């Protein structure tokens, strides 16, 4: 149905969710000796996303037709962009996490079980009064890429930042069944 005037449109449009109102959190890892997640990630996450999920399709042949059935769900990676502080606390945290999964200099892991290197994360989308409107909880995540830090002599009036990409085993939201 098309709305022919602004008042009709505004009658059904609530102002929309704003992409610049969010909080990011990553829970502590469960492995002994692994440092806890710095609380500053909640404030220093410059950008993030809510990763998509794709439902695979299983095709079954029947009398010359392809019948499509729901297949397996695949969850996209979760990306965050983080401001780097002078103490590099978040950068060092992600480098340690990654190195503990598989050391940089040897094919050795510091984790006793595979599940101990995984953590949980979440993105809360907020309204203009800082109230959560929707929460996405990312389960069993781990970093697959701790991105580069670009350096340049002409990078004046900027703060360093880097990207971290997480593998996501699954996510739940306010709209889906809780886990």
Q: Has residue 96 been placed in a domain?
A: yes
Q: Which pLDDT score is estimated for 169?
A: 94
Tallying the residues shown for the chain, one arrives at 179
Q: How many separate domains does the chain show?
A: 1
Q: Which pLDDT score is estimated for 149?
A: 96
- 172 contacts 143 by C-beta, under 8 angstroms: no
Q: Which pLDDT score is estimated for 175?
A: 82
The domain in which residue 93 lies consists of: 16-173
| Angle made by CA atoms 79, 110, 76, in degrees to the nearest 5 | 20
Q: Which pLDDT score is estimated for 176?
A: 81
- 170 contacts 141 by C-beta, under 8 angstroms: no
Supply the CATH number for residue 94's domain. Answer: 2.30.110
pLDDT means per 10 residues, the chain with 179 residues, are: 74 83 84 69 91 94 95 96 94 89 74 76 93 93 95 94 96 82
Q: Has residue 9 been placed in a domain?
A: no
Q: Has residue 165 been placed in a domain?
A: yes
Q: Which pLDDT score is estimated for 17?
A: 85
Q: Which pLDDT score is estimated for 154?
A: 94
Read off the tokens for 76.
């996209």
In this structure, what DSSP letter does residue 132 have?
E
Q: Has residue 150 been placed in a domain?
A: yes
pLDDT 10s digits, 77-119:
999 999 999 999 999 999 988 888 877 777 776 666 666 788 8
Q: Has residue 4 been placed in a domain?
A: no
pTM reported for the whole predicted model: 0.85
């Amino acid at each position: 149905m098309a709305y022919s005037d602004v008042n009709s449109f505004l009658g059904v449009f609530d102002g929309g969710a704003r992409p610049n109102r969010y909080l990011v959190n990553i829970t502590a890892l469960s492995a002994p000796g692994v440092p806890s997640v710095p609380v500053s990630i909640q404030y220093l996450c410059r950008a993030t996303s809510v990763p998509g999920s794709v439902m695979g399709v299983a095709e079954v042949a029947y009398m010359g037709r392809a019948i499509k059935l729901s297949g397996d769900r695949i969850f996209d990676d979760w990306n965050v962009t983080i401001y780097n502080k002078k103490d590099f606390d978040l950068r060092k945290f992600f480098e340690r996490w990654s190195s503990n999964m598989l050391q940089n200099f040897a094919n050795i892991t510091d984790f006793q079980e595979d599940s101990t290197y995984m953590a949980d994360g979440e993105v809360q989308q907020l309204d203009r009064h800082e109230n959560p409107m929707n929460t996405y909880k990312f389960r069993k995540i781990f970093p697959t890429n701790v991105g580069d830090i670009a350096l340049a002599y002409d990078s004046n009036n900027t703060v360093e930042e880097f990207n971290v990409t997480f593998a996501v085993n699954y996510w739940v939201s306010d709209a889906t069944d809780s886990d």
